[in-house]
């Protein structure tokens, strides 16, 4: 009886206090596909076609670039220096954000960008240079549009 009273009191307290602030929803931002040859040549191509974005602050969005991996995990993968250029169509503001990641397998190599563009329709363009100690290979660029509130 005492245990059930304790549980019921805890539930009521939780309802009275509330669940706390809501977390940001994650949205998928489609892009035309980037293409690039892995610096290991005989590997999966570099070919992301989307970004994921989430907002917790007005005028600022956090973006991540998934879908990049390498089968050469035993060699330590490769380095990807990723560049994201953004342009707010409403205000004309522009900027560039850089990130460097190690691309391996599975699911590593997620580049992350904090874009402080202000609210509006924001055009993004992504490009990368993928490297191993012997050489570097640039990718094509790709892009899309994200709405920042």
Please give the domain boundaries of the chain with CATH numbers for all domains.
Answer: 25-148 (2.60.40)
What is the sign, positive or negative, of the torsion defined by CA atoms of 31, 33, 36, 37?
positive
State the distance between the two ends of the chain, measured CA to CA, in whole angstroms. 50
pLDDT band, very low/low/confident/very high, at 108 (cuts 50, 70, 90):
confident
Residue 110 token pair = 């997620």
The Cα 126–Cα 48 span in angstroms is: 10
pLDDT digits (tens, 9 = 90+) for 39-72: 999 999 999 999 999 999 999 999 999 989 999 8
Closest CA to 33 of 136, 129, 117, 144: 144
Predicted local distance difference test score (pLDDT) of residue 107 = 67
Average pLDDT over the chain, rounded to an integer? 86
């Amino acid at each position: 009886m005492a245990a059930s009273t304790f549980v019921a009191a805890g539930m009521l307290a939780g309802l009275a206090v509330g669940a706390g602030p809501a977390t940001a929803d994650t949205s998928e931002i489609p892009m035309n596909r980037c293409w690039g040859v892995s610096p290991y040549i005989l590997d999966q191509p570099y070919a992301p076609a989307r970004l994921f974005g989430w907002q917790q602050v007005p005028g600022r969005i956090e973006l991540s670039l998934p879908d990049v991996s390498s089968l050469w995990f035993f060699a330590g993968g490769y380095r990807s220096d990723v560049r994201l250029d953004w342009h707010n169509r409403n205000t004309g503001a522009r900027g560039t954000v850089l990130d460097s990641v190690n691309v391996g397998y599975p699911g590593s190599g997620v580049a992350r960008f904090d874009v402080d563009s202000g609210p509006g329709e924001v055009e993004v363009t992504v490009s990368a240079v993928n490297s191993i100690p012997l050489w570097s290979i640039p990718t094509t660029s790709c892009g899309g549009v994200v709405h920042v509130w």
